[in-house]
Chains A and B, each alone.
Chain A
Amino acid sequence: MVLQPPQLFSIVTGSSEPIYRQLVEQVRRLVAGGQLAAGDELPSVREVASMLAVNPMTVSKAYSLLEAEGLLARRRGLGMVVAEQSSAQGSSRERAELLRPTLERAAREARELELDHATVLALFTHILKEPS
């Protein structure tokens, strides 16, 4: 299955998270969550760059890092595919760890807003229960 870039990637500009990091995190989450399985083909660097209007080198950098991590593998004639060993879903602890950057950002904003822990946790619980 080839996933289309719009389904797969989205980026936020004006963020403190460089664009290549955002792409890396997204692939990690998709693999950990099982939306991307071993052997799934990723869109080409060109397709992603063109779709998101970002420099192809930025996409290439993200893919190379993921390849070095062993999450993606370069397959001749096919481009990048999800590597075999990453087919098993990570443990729930591993998957939760992927939420950390987002939650750290939320925690920082909560502190800036001077919210107490109970209020923030109640809100998060509420959001988790909302239909997605």
Chain B
Amino acid sequence: MTAPIIQMRDVAKYFGGAIVLSSLDWEVRQGQVIGLLGRNGAGKSTLMECLLGLRELDGGSVRLFGEDVAALSDASRARIGYVPQKSNLFEWMTPLQLLDYFKAMYPRWNAVKVDALLERWGFDALMLAKPIGRLSGGEQQRLSIIRALAHDPELLVLDEPVSSLDPAGRRAFLAELVDGVIERGTTVVFSTHILTDLERVALDVAFLKGGRIALQGPLDELLEGARNTLDGRRAEPVSLEDLFIEVTQ
């Protein structure tokens, strides 16, 4: 068995007096596609930021690709793609300038893929020359996704990546995830409240509750297990939404 891609041990994170993460242990293995679920305010974004080394921990440790995230090598950093919940793009740049800027930072950059996605996702010449701050929320989110996919990352961390997209945009994103990302064996951690999207792509789900991973397992097994063994009697079948409410209550 290969070492896990993400390894979190006894992680703690506080904001002032509020405990967001506490004694959190989590492992993600290579090639896993995991949906991270939890109620609003459960700490999903904080968990993702901690696992990427974007926030200092108040306890515990995080290892990515076997390295301590606090001293992550540039080589490992270049293997990660991240789509934050709020797009953190430079608003005064144009999409073209932004992509050129990031292209210079990564040793590997798939220009063919970037061009294809820009075209498929409706970035015409006019839009590519506009300051990012004047693009709509959905357009910024699409650009943020393209940026995160451009260097063919081996680990992709997506924090509510489709919250600003319309149904057609969400479907186009899912198609790219299936064809261009999962097919390559990329490890994906994906948080969303749109459970119907999640169940298409996530083979595993992890529930964050009370500052730790309260439940994790293969989605099919969790659904079928909940159906067969709830309270020891044959229960009504449950959907992912039922399971979400049951587990996070």
Whether A17 pairs with B237 at a CB distance below 8 angstroms is yes
CB distance from A54 to the nearest CB of B (A): 5
- Total interface residues on A, CB under 8 Å, equals 21
Chain A 1-31 near chain B by CB (<8 Å), digits 1 or 0 = 0000000000001111111110000000000
Contacts of A15 in B (CB 8 A): 239
Whether B182 pairs with A55 at a CB distance below 8 angstroms is yes
CB distance from B191 to the nearest CB of A (A): 17
Closest partner residue, chain A, to B219 (CB atom): A18
Contacts of B240 in A (CB 8 A): 14
Contacts of A49 in B (CB 8 A): 178
CB distance from B110 to the nearest CB of A (A): 19
Whether A18 pairs with B201 at a CB distance below 8 angstroms is no
Secondary structure type dominating chain B contacts = helix
Whether A53 pairs with B220 at a CB distance below 8 angstroms is no
Asked if B148 is an interface residue, CB under 8 A from chain A, the answer is: no
Contacts of A20 in B (CB 8 A): 220
CB distance from B59 to the nearest CB of A (A): 35
- Taken together as a complex, chains A and B put the C-alpha atoms of A21 and B227 apart, in Å, by 14
- Taken together as a complex, chains A and B put the C-alpha atoms of A15 and B242 apart, in Å, by 10
Whether B237 pairs with A19 at a CB distance below 8 angstroms is no
CB distance from B178 to the nearest CB of A (A): 5
Which residues between 2 and 40 of chain B lie within 8 Å of chain A, taking CB atoms?
33
CB distance from A18 to the nearest CB of B (A): 4
Chain B 170-211 near chain A by CB (<8 Å), digits 1 or 0 = 010011001100110000000000011101111100000000
Whether A54 pairs with B236 at a CB distance below 8 angstroms is no
Contacts of B213 in A (CB 8 A): none
Contacts of B200 in A (CB 8 A): 13, 19, 52-55
Asked if B238 is an interface residue, CB under 8 A from chain A, the answer is: yes
Partner of B178, one of A17, A19, A21, A50: A50
Partner of B183, one of A17, A46, A54: A46
Whether A53 pairs with B224 at a CB distance below 8 angstroms is no
Partner of A18, one of B174, B178, B196, B224: B224
CB distance from B18 to the nearest CB of A (A): 33
Asked if B241 is an interface residue, CB under 8 A from chain A, the answer is: yes
Contacts of B175 in A (CB 8 A): 50, 53
CB distance from A66 to the nearest CB of B (A): 15
- Taken together as a complex, chains A and B put the C-alpha atoms of A58 and B202 apart, in Å, by 9
Partner of A53, one of B33, B171, B183: B171
Q: A13 with B183: in contact, given A55-B178, A108-B236 (CB under 8 Å)?
A: no
| 10 CB < 8 A contacts A-B | A13-B199, A16-B227, A18-B219, A19-B200, A52-B200, A55-B33, A55-B178, A55-B203, A57-B182, A57-B203
Query: Which residue numbers of B lie inside 8 Å of A, CB to CB?
Result: 33, 171, 174-175, 178-179, 182-183, 195-197, 199-203, 219-220, 223-224, 227, 236-242
Known: A16-B227, A53-B201, A56-B183. 13 other contacts (CB 8 A): A14-B195, A16-B237, A18-B224, A20-B220, A46-B183, A49-B178, A53-B175, A53-B200, A55-B33, A55-B178, A55-B201, A55-B203, A61-B220
